[in-house]
Chain A
Amino acid sequence: MTILVIAEHSNDELKADTHKVVQAASSIGGDIHLLVAGQNCGNAATAAATITGVTKVLVADASAYGHQLAENVSALVAEIGKDYSHIMAAATTTGKNMLPRVAALLDVAQLSDVIAIESADTFVRPVYAGNAIATVQSADAIKVLTVRGSAFAAAAEGNNAPIATLDIVKDLQVSTFIGEELTKSARPELTAAKVIISGGRGMQNGENFAMLNGIADKLNAAIGASRAAVDAGFVPNDMQVGQTGKIVAPDLYIAVGISGAIQHLAGMKDSKVIVAINKDSDAPIFQVADYGLVADLFTVLPELEQQL
């Protein structure tokens, strides 16, 4: 049994989600091959070889894979994937874009957002925005899964796995990368941060989100937002925590001016400690919060920043 893991990376850097998928793969057992498909992705491949549990790194370096276009990378994965027992990737926008395509090309099902592995063919995944938890068994020859990073620890580093080059270029020529606007931030990424402070509709506008900066600096926290705040245009979409945004499970989650809609709770209710600050004492967020403070956020935030 050999498992193929698709690395999440930016050519230059390997993303922390990769370590988590490798950890999940390790719990199934067998050899683990880690595929780094990209363009000028040597640095990511070198980093991949250090992850504990990886038996071999496969590198496919071509312009067709430079921006992780699903059409091209999926064709590559489907071609090399036939001989594996499992194909796994992180349940990120990259993994979710790619793996269903891989599964269809291999004529097998895909299981999304796996949060626990019971055995080599039995997996646990949330449905209905996490309001129900399904245990599913797959009889497919190849199990194709995306793995929710927040549910697994990160595999350690210190390995020195061999790196093999794949000379396969798949360029379907049906899609072209035009450009991207990536949010630049010195703060930790939402899915990797130990502390997250998120704002909701109660923040009233985008400018007020700056009130979270000082607190985030003191706690080395990432800043998130509810769907309501993103829909209202206060902040960009990549800050959204929830069922259709990012799923997070930090040690401390501070929800500011967030009512606690089901779809937001789906994205953060596995956090270790939840703090809710809201002036509406009936807000559903208080039902999941370990510590609630019923108060106006505009008086609380400056005070909190000062006292930390």
Chain B
Amino acid sequence: MKILVPVKRVIDYNVKVRVKADQTGVDLANVKMALNPFCEIAVEEAVRLKEAGVATEVVAVSIGAKAVQEQLRTALALGADRAIHLETELNLDSLQVAKLLAKLVEAEQPQLVILGKQAIDSDNNQTGQMLAALTGMGQGTFASKVAVNGDKVQVTREIDGGLQTIELTLPAVVSTDLRLNEPRYASLPNIMKAKKKPLDVQAADGLGVNLSSKVTTLKVTAPATRQGGVIVESVAELVEKLKHEAKVI
């Protein structure tokens, strides 16, 4: 069984985000970039399925400028077998990304696509669902447990009220939530080995997908900042303030 793992290069989650003064976006110049945390969990899950003998090949894919190859090498160091880079300088929306991935699914015929539920930059939480729609596959979103059984996969999903388990017919799309696994660290020998693993580069605009989006960002601003308040000395003072100053209890 082949598993396709789409991954995204994003701002490192530890970096403090700064909005550009001209309101065109977030300042990404000279900022540390990393593999999106949810994508890391997706790679880990795919590699574990391979280690368990369920999967035979793990293919990582990323879409973007040349720099995304850095994150593909990370995925390879974590255990993916080979990588595909769909190269474009454009900033794509989830729908365009999903359409490109649908083309890859057609070419690669994976039985399972595992990807992060959302990227921590756009916070969209859309690509997996859109890919599933375009390919007619079932979707197990926000997964905290994945169990492949023959031509089915059972996915336990983190939902607002608790947990839900569904069964999907393969091929299927799974999007990862935080509790699915704890990703490993790439060891130095594996980082070295990753440099020799195959990484195939294709032009994203050569796949017959219209890459233009109908959504325009008019401006990006910093959120209203919240002022820190006062430090109270005791529980009694706190209760007094909540009752008489804030009037919330």
Contacts and interface: CB of A to CB of B under 8 A. Distances in A.
A binds B: yes
Interface of A: 67, 69-71, 74, 92-94, 96-105, 107-113, 122, 126-140, 172-183, 191, 195, 219, 227, 230-231, 236-238, 243-244, 246, 251-252, 263, 269, 272-275, 281, 286-294, 300, 303-304, 307-308
Interface residues of B, number: 81
B94 interface: yes
A94 B159 contact: yes
B197 interface: no
Q: Chain A binding site: helix, strand, loop or mixed by DSSP?
A: mixed
Contacts of A181: 162-163
A71 B238 contact: no
A109 B139 contact: no
A128 B11 contact: yes
A244 B135 CA distance: 26
Given A100-B129, A231-B179, A244 B220 contact: no
Given A137-B216, A182-B161, A252-B246, A300 B235 contact: yes
Interface in B212-249: 213-223, 226, 228-232, 234-236, 238-239, 241-242, 246, 248-249
B12 to A, nearest CB: 12
Given A136-B217, A275-B242, A290-B246, A129 B123 contact: yes
B238 A140 contact: no
A157 B132 CA distance: 37
Given A97-B139, A292-B229, A140 B215 contact: yes
A99 B129 CA distance: 8
B158 to A, nearest CB: 5
Contact of B179 (A98, A175, A237, A287): A237
B89 to A, nearest CB: 20
Interface stretch (B43-51, B74-82, B167-175): B167-175
B134 A104 contact: yes
